[in-house]
Amino acid sequence: MSIKKLSITTILLYGLVFFSPYIFSPFSPDIVIGGTTFTYILGAGLMIWLYFNNKMTAATSVEQEAKLTSPVFMILLGISGIFIAMIIQAIVFGIETTITGVQPNSQNTQNIIKVILANPLFILATTIGGPIMEEFVFRRSLISLTESYTGFWLAAIISSSLFSVIHQDGHFFVYFFMGFFFALLYKMTGKIWTSIIAHCGMNTVVVIAQLVLHYANIDLPK
């Protein structure tokens, strides 16, 4: 399979998974959450399988031109990227708060935490399934499809913009700059696993922190 066909297939698969909650909507909330979690993990698994099954025939320009391709760089940048992404998030939230006066509260994160509290299994979707799919779609597939027409940097801007819009959170620039940072990690190493490590790690840290605050009944300062 060519990289173009693989990218389109990956995006279509993501679309099916993204709208999967509507399939389970006639049933109970537990079935909706369980079914959504299953489809997220299944979707991520299928994308990983498609990647390895077509690795030799569907390499992207980013992967072919990368310089820091050693697994050591992938691991180091992936792990350090967890904390850099969180710093970027905090800085952009701070700028937004200064300009708008609105407190840095992510409704998307709060909704996810509520679902996890109701059904802890959903943590697998938010910390593993979702981030893996988003990296294959927004970093690897979308950048690959647009890069030949726009160059990498504009392709990264486009994919980061769509990444932000899909979260429907009201904090466009927070998700945009995080998405752009993940794209930069991908470009530096030519390995989608670098941004996957950073993205999964960041989501995991955020979820754990939110759960700790909840169970400890701690209110963050306003």
| 214 counts as catalytic | no
Q: Calculate mean pLDDT across residues 32-61.
A: 94
Integer angstrom CA distances of residue 52 from 56, 113, 133:
8, 32, 14
- For residue 106, what pLDDT is reported? 66
CA-CA distance, 93 to 84, in Å (whole number)? Answer: 14
pLDDT in tens, 210-222: 888 877 775 544 4
Q: What is the Cα–Cα distance from 94 to 74, expressed in whole angstroms?
A: 29
CA dihedral 87→88→94→95, nearest 10 degrees, is: 150
Rounded Cα gap, residues 192 and 76, in angstroms: 14
DSSP state of 221: P
**Mean pLDDT along residues 164-175:** 88
Q: Which of the two residues, 11 and 33, has the higher pLDDT score?
A: 11
Q: Catalytic pick from 134, 135, 147, 199?
A: 134
Least confident of 20-24, 77-81, 148-152, 179-183: 20-24
Express each pLDDT in 90-137 by its tens digit.
999 899 888 877 666 666 777 788 888 888 889 999 999 999 999 999
The upper half-sphere exposure of residue 131, i.e. CA atoms within 13 Å in the direction of its Cβ, equals 24
Task: Give the pLDDT score at 140.
Answer: 97
In the prediction, which pLDDT does 116 show? 87
> Residue 131: which of 180, 176, 198 has the closest Cα?
198
Asked whether the beta carbons of 148 and 61 are under 8 A apart, the reply is yes
Catalytic residue among 63, 96, 135, 167: 167
Which of 31-45, 87-101, 142-156, 183-197 has the weakest average pLDDT? 87-101
Against a cut of 0.85, is the pTM above it?
A: yes
Residue of 50, 60, 63, 57 lying closest to 144 (CA atoms): 60
CA distance 185 to 154: 16
d(C-alpha 100, C-alpha 88), whole Å = 18
How far is Cα 207 from Cα 109, in angstroms, rounded to an integer?
A: 8
Identify which has the larger pLDDT, 191 or 113. 191
- Tell me the three-class secondary structure of 122-166, residue by residue: HHHHHHHHHHHHHHHHHHHHHHHHHHHHHCHHHHHHHHHHHHHHH
d(CA 83, CA 18): 27
Q: Which two tokens stand for residue 19?
A: 């709208």
Q: Is position 65 annotated as part of the catalytic site?
A: no
Least confident of 77-81, 113-117, 175-179: 113-117
Structure tokens at 214: 């909840």
Average pLDDT for 139-150 = 96
